[in-house]
């Protein structure tokens, strides 16, 4: 039988894919990791970012950013950019990248990236909630299935949980199949 437990982090909806956010902070590219995020609908996402982070400042100033999806082999570099702030260190050369529309840095070595446009942004208790529209999807060849969906097992996304990084275990069944 279940018992009420005193969980330090109560909003325990894990695992969550780790995301690497790409921004232009002034003239410089910056990268940082986000695991507090959500899907609001098929075009709209939410990110929760500490207001003090350089990423927050850059998103507010520029209004556009990239969401890059690491695979399980990218745990180390994803952790690296999530443990150093662009406020105090230069992460601009850390990933090989291309500027989308001459404005939004995208990681060349990750198979899937989204270009996002900030729609709304509000602050609460030192955190900034960013609501954004995904305007473009950039995917490596072979990642998109014949039915137009992303092949999750090929993508092999890096999953975050407070106990560690994980990978997807396998297919178990078809959704919406009645």
Ligand X SMILES: Cc1cc2nc3c(=O)[nH]c(=O)nc-3n(C[C@H](O)[C@H](O)[C@H](O)COP(=O)(O)O)c2cc1C
Using CB under 6 A, pick the residue from 24, 29, 32, 107 that binds ligand X.
32
What is the rounded CA–CA span in Å between residue 52 and residue 135? Answer: 26
How many binding residues for ligand X (CB under 6 A)?
21
Residue 18 token pair:
């780790």
What does DSSP say about strands 37-41 and 127-139: parallel, antiparallel, or unpaired?
unpaired
Binding mask 37-76 for ligand X (x = CB under 6 A): -----------xxx--xxx---------------------
Q: Binding to ligand X by residue 157, rule CB under 6 A?
A: no
Q: Binding to ligand X by residue 15, rule CB under 6 A?
A: no
Percent helix, strand, coil in the chain, to 5, is: 15, 45, 45
Q: Binding to ligand X by residue 85, rule CB under 6 A?
A: yes
Asked if 106 and 115 count as a contact pair (C-beta separation under 8 A), the reply is: yes
Q: Binding to ligand X by residue 18, rule CB under 6 A?
A: yes
Measured at CB, which residue is nearest to ligand X? 82
Phi, psi of 79 (to 5 degrees): -65, -40
Binding site for ligand X (CB under 6 A): 18, 30, 32-36, 48-50, 53-55, 79, 82-87, 160
């Amino acid at each position: 039988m279940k018992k009420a437990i005193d969980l330090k982090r109560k909003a325990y909806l894990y695992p969550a894919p780790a995301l690497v956010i790409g921004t232009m902070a002034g003239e410089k590219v910056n990268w940082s990791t986000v695991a507090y995020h959500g899907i609001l609908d098929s075009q709209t996402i939410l990110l929760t970012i500490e207001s003090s982070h350089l990423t927050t400042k850059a998103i507010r100033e520029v209004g556009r950013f990239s969401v890059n999806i690491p695979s399980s082999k990218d745990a180390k570099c994803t952790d690296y950019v999530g443990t150093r702030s662009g406020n105090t260190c230069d992460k601009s050369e850390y990933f090989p990248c291309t500027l989308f529309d001459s404005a939004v840095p995208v990681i060349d070595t990750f198979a899937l990236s989204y270009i996002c446009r900030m729609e709304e942004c509000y602050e609460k208790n030192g955190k900034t909630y960013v609501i954004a529209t995904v305007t473009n999807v950039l995917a490596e060849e072979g990642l998109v299935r014949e039915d137009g969906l992303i092949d999750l097992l090929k993508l092999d996304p890096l999953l975050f949980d407070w106990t560690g990084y994980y990978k997807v275990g396998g297919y178990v069944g078809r959704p919406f199949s009645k």
